A and B are shown apart, each in its own frame.
Chain A
Amino acid sequence: MSSTLALAAHDSMTMLRRNLKHAARYPALTFSQAMTPILMLLLFVFAFGDSIGASLGSGPGGGRDAYLAYLTPGILVMGVAGGSMSTSVAICSDMTGGIINRFRTMNIVRSSFMTGHVIGSVVQTLVGLVLVVAVALAVGFRPHAGAAAWAAAFGLLLAIAVAVTWLSVALGLISKTVESAGNKPLLVQFLPFLGSAFVPADSMAPGLRLFAEYQPFTPMIETLRGLLSGTPVGSGGWVSLAWCAGIGTVGYVWSRRLFNRTTTRR
Chain B
Amino acid sequence: MPPSVMPTSRNRNMLGAPAVTAIGLRKSYGDRTVLDGIDLTIPAGTVFALLGPNGAGKTTTVEILSTLVGADGGQAQIAGHDLLTDPDGVRSAIGVTGQFAALDDLLTAEENLLLMADLLRLPRQQGRARVRELLERFDIAEAAGRRAATFSGGMRRRLDLAMTLVGDPQVIFLDEPTTGLDPRSRRTMWDTVRGLVAGGTTVFLTTQYLEEADQLADRIAVLDGGRIVAEGTADELKARIPGSHVRLRLADPAGFARACAAFPGASRDAENLALRIAGDAGLDALRSVIDRLDAAGVPAADFSVHTPDLDDVFFALTGADTGVGAGTGIGTGTGTGTDTPHGSHRPAAEETPR
Instruction: Tell me if B96 and A266 are in contact (CB < 8 A).
Output: no
Chain B proximity mask over A93-128: 1 for CB below 8 Å, otherwise 0: 000011111111111100000000000000000000
CB <8 Å contact, B100 and A105: no
Asked whether B119 lies within 8 Å of A106 as measured between CB atoms, the reply is yes
Residues facing A in B79-128 (CB within 8 A) are 84, 87-89, 91-92, 94-96, 98, 100-107, 111, 115-116, 118-121
Known pairs A21-B111, A266-B70; list 11 more (Cβ under 8 Å).
A14-B119, A17-B118, A102-B102, A103-B119, A105-B94, A105-B96, A265-B69, A265-B84, A265-B87, A266-B71, A266-B72
**Chain A residues within CB distance 8 Å of chain B:** 7, 10-11, 14, 17-18, 21-22, 25-26, 97-108, 263-266
Contact check, B88 vs A107: say whether CB atoms are below 8 A apart. yes
B131 in contact (CB, < 8 A): no
Given the interface pairs A11-B119, A14-B115, the reply to whether A105 lies near B106 with Cβ below 8 Å is no
B101 and A98 contacting across the interface, CB-CB below 8 Å: yes
- Residue from B91, B107, B115, B118 within 8 A of A107 (CB atoms): B91
Tell me if B68 counts as interface (CB < 8 A to partner A): yes
Complex: how many Å from CA A10 to CA B123? Answer: 12
* Chain B residues whose CB sits within 8 angstroms of the CB of A101 once the complex forms: 68, 96, 98, 102
If A98-B101, A98-B102, A101-B68 touch, whether A107 touches B84 (CB-CB below 8 Å) is no
Establish whether residues A14 and B101, one from each chain, have CB atoms under 8 Å apart when the complex forms. no
- Residue from B84, B91, B106 within 8 A of A106 (CB atoms): B91
What is the CB-to-nearest-CB distance from A138 to chain B, in angstroms, rounded to a whole number?
32
Whether B106 contacts A98 by the Cβ 8 Å rule is no
Report the minimal beta-carbon distance from B146 to chain A, rounded to whole angstroms.
13
Bound-state Cα–Cα, A219 to B115, Å: 42
Q: How far is the CA of A7 from the CA of B70 in the complex (A)?
A: 25
Chain B: interface secondary structure? loop
Instruction: Report chain B residues within 8 Å CB of A10.
Output: 121
Nearest CB on B from A96, distance (A): 11
CA–CA, A104 to B94, complex, Å? 12
Question: How many Å lie between the Cα of A11 and that of B91 in the bound state?
Answer: 15
Q: B107 near A18 (CB under 8 angstroms)?
A: yes
Q: Measured between alpha carbons, how far is A21 from B68 in the docked complex, in Å?
A: 27
* B46 touches A (CB below 8 Å): no
CB neighbours (8 Å) of A18 from chain B are 104, 107, 115
Of A7, A14, A97, which one neighbours B118 at CB under 8 angstroms?
A: A14
Q: Inside 8 A of A97's CB, which chain B residues have their CB?
A: 102, 105
- By a CB distance below 8 angstroms, the chain A residues around B69 are 265
Cβ contact within 8 Å between A25 and B106:
yes
Provide the bound-state CA to CA distance between A104 and B68, in Å.
7
- The distance in angstroms between the C-alpha atoms of A43 and B98, with both chains bound, is 50
- Among B70, B118, B120, max chain A CB count under 10 A is at B118
User: Which residues of A have CB within 8 Å of B116?
Assistant: 106
Out of B98, B106, B163, B164, name the residue touching A26 (CB < 8 Å). Answer: B106
Q: How far is the CB of A88 from chain B (nearest CB, A)?
A: 17
CB distance from A47 to the nearest CB of B (A): 38
Give the chain A neighbours of B178 by CB distance below 8 A. Answer: none
- The B255-295 residues at the A interface (CB cut-off 8 A) are none
Interface string of B62-77 (1 = CB under 8 A from A): 0000111111100000
Residues of B within 8 A of A266 (CB): 70-72, 84
CB distance from A177 to the nearest CB of B (A): 16
Query: Once the chains are docked, how many angstroms separate the CA of A97 from the CA of B95?
Result: 18
B153-165 interface code vs A (CB 8 A; 1 in, 0 out) = 0000000000110
Nearest B residue to A26, CB-CB:
B106
Query: Nearest chain-B residue to A23 (Cβ)?
Result: B106
